[in-house]
Structure 1
């Protein structure tokens, strides 16, 4: 994709993390007040979906930055400040999403999440919403300087600096190989759990109930989080290598769909009720087949990044 298309995608998506997360947070606060478990589960699902959507929002933002970099009236300093704030917000967003998923997983296993999970999700969601709103406001300042606070220092007050991360990884011999190792460990964890769970749904190892395999899902989610975090570090280190890479775009789309698909195995009754010796329904097998194909696609297009798109 060219920079113009990616910029339009960023403009299309960039309100979802703030507005969507705000909706989820409002629903979560109401659910805590009225003590409604269905509302809590809905809010947790929203947190997870928005966390997944936030990754392409950040990545397309880099394309938007490149597209308007040399235009009159556009401040490079403001764009750098927005980029740093967005990365910090993204980090908290992904942690919140993982904790939200853990709450959904606990709901499925024990019919309730722990008090510790509720507290963690509440605190993280409040912090994340504040950080997302701050990053969104900084993004607005790029094109609307009239809302900029006079005298504000735009560059030196961020907790996370993208340039500092990039400089460290590029200047440290062991950093990139370590990230690559962790990235493939995460991928192995995802695929290991995904294959075990999905093959059971397709009729292999029928003597095992799905509820017994359900306890493996946190290991897959841990691998997913490891993959996303190391992948984002690759991206912020050498963004020009990845921003317009078609293979990466396809990989990210497939991975986001596969990430949402985990809700089926986490929340729905159909797989949960699959006992020893029982066959999954046709619908469950279709979902399972799609999941396997999605992860095969993620692996394939990840491997093809040096060859499709000519970015390496």
Structure 2
């Protein structure tokens, strides 16, 4: 297994885990159930661990695919920049979640406040996670790229030019 394969194995959990964790946290807040909130906190911590693994394998994956046709260094760089932001937010969310777990176990009065903070940070993380997932998907899936993304393929560029010429006529 190489870094590109490992990256593909681990990179989905930070996104999916954060989305699921947010839903579970909101459910726990509505039900006022600390066990449900603790489940969300554990998911957030695991998502942060997988984010670290994903960041660790990302560089090797980049080296393997950056010179492939239709990829290019710019699209990978954009993905990397957004992924770094997500990783930082997930590390913050993990710290807040660990605090929430401890406060819930001690039945501390600030536990409810921490759950609101975790929910807000998780909402931001989910937003950034969607950007990371989309930018990562665009690396190999040219069909989801927007029109502004430059292609390295001469066939695609000529097709775009032909389509643009037809639109102008």
TM-score bin, normalised by smaller chain: 0.7 to 0.9
Within a 5 Å distance, the mapping from 1:196-215 to structure 2 comes to: none
Residue in 1 that maps onto 2:136: 139
Matching residue within 15, 19, 23 for 1:22: 19
Matching residue within 97, 100, 110 for 2:97: 100
Establish whether residue 61 from structure 1 lines up as the match of residue 58 from structure 2. yes
Residue in 1 that maps onto 2:3: 6
Offset at 1:29?
Answer: 1.1
Residue in 1 that maps onto 2:45: 48
Q: What is the alpha-carbon distance in structure 1 between the residues aligned to residue 63 and residue 149 of structure 2?
A: 24
Residue in 1 that maps onto 2:125: 128
Greater RCO, 1 or 2 (C-alpha within 8 Å, sep 6+): 2
Q: What is the alpha-carbon distance in structure 1 between the residues aligned to residue 8 and residue 78 of structure 2?
A: 18
Q: What is the alpha-carbon distance in structure 2 between the residues aligned to residue 15 and residue 150 of structure 1?
A: 25
The root-mean-square deviation of aligned C-alpha atoms, in Å, is 1.6
- Kept in 2, the 8 Å contact 1:48–1:101? The answer is yes
Residue in 1 that maps onto 2:35: 38
TM-score normalised to structure 2 length: 0.83
TM superposition outliers: structure 1 runs of 4+ over 3 Å: none
- Kept in 2, the 8 Å contact 1:7–1:63? The answer is yes
Unmatched runs of 5 consecutive residues or more in structure 1:
154-312
Cα offsets for 1:93-124 (capped at 9, x unmatched)? 10011000001111122356533212210110
Q: What is the alpha-carbon distance in structure 2 between the residues aligned to residue 21 and residue 118 of structure 1?
A: 14
- Kept in 1, the 8 Å contact 2:86–2:125? The answer is yes
Offset at 1:59?
Answer: 1.5
The count of residues paired between Structure 1 and Structure 2 equals 150
Within a 5 Å distance, the mapping from 1:1-312 to structure 2 comes to: 5-110=2-107, 113-151=110-148
- Kept in 2, the 8 Å contact 1:104–1:113? The answer is no
Cα offsets for 1:183-227 (capped at 9, x unmatched)? xxxxxxxxxxxxxxxxxxxxxxxxxxxxxxxxxxxxxxxxxxxxx
Unmatched runs of 5 consecutive residues or more in structure 2:
151-169
- Secondary structure of 1:110's partner? coil
Offset at 1:73?
Answer: 1.4
Cα offsets for 1:252-295 (capped at 9, x unmatched)? xxxxxxxxxxxxxxxxxxxxxxxxxxxxxxxxxxxxxxxxxxxx
TM-score normalised to structure 1 length: 0.46
Please, which moves more after superposition, 97-106 or 18-27?
18-27
